[in-house]
Amino acid sequence: AVIAERRSALAGMDQAAFDAESFTPAGPDSYGRFMRIRVMDMWMHEQDIRAVVGRPGHEEGLAPQAALDEMTGALGFVVGKRAGAPAGSRVRFELTGPMSRRIDVEVGERARVVEAMEGDPTVTLTLPGLLFTRLCGGRGADPAPVRMIGDGELGEAIVTQMGFMI
């Protein structure tokens, strides 16, 4: 009954309601962002349960893509602040499997995710998309499958500092 009521309320909202200022676990933002964070959170907890019961899955579709989108937005913070990548560093994340994507981060005055990297990566981290989400979520995942090309010291710093989940 609660789910049906909530679905009805969400279906009745217009774009202005989703764009309205709201509070989120990441600080002030739109109600839409609040809902995107909730989708990521629910999907992460689903993956926690799947890991415990040995039933992997749900790596394709809107929820895992929304989770990746939300995590991607924090990579500047992870690379620049948490891992301490020096100015001029360029980091590439190559995610493989059903959740594959390329994410590039450049470090200038601040580290930020970029559409296209200028120059070669300082380090490239290649790993399955699901492992990426587990590491970002601080889920104690084994980072051994992460392949690093380039500055291994920077790569290690990034992998050990990926757990940022809000």
- The pLDDT score that the predictor gives to residue 166 is 57
Digit-coded pLDDT (tens) for 41-95: 999 999 999 999 999 999 999 999 999 999 999 999 999 999 999 999 999 999 9
Look up residue 24 and give its DSSP letter: E
Look up residue 98 and give its DSSP letter: G
DSSP 3-state assignment of 91? strand
pTM, rounded to two decimals: 0.90
Q: Give every CB contact of residue 120 below 8 A, 6+ residues apart in sequence.
A: 90
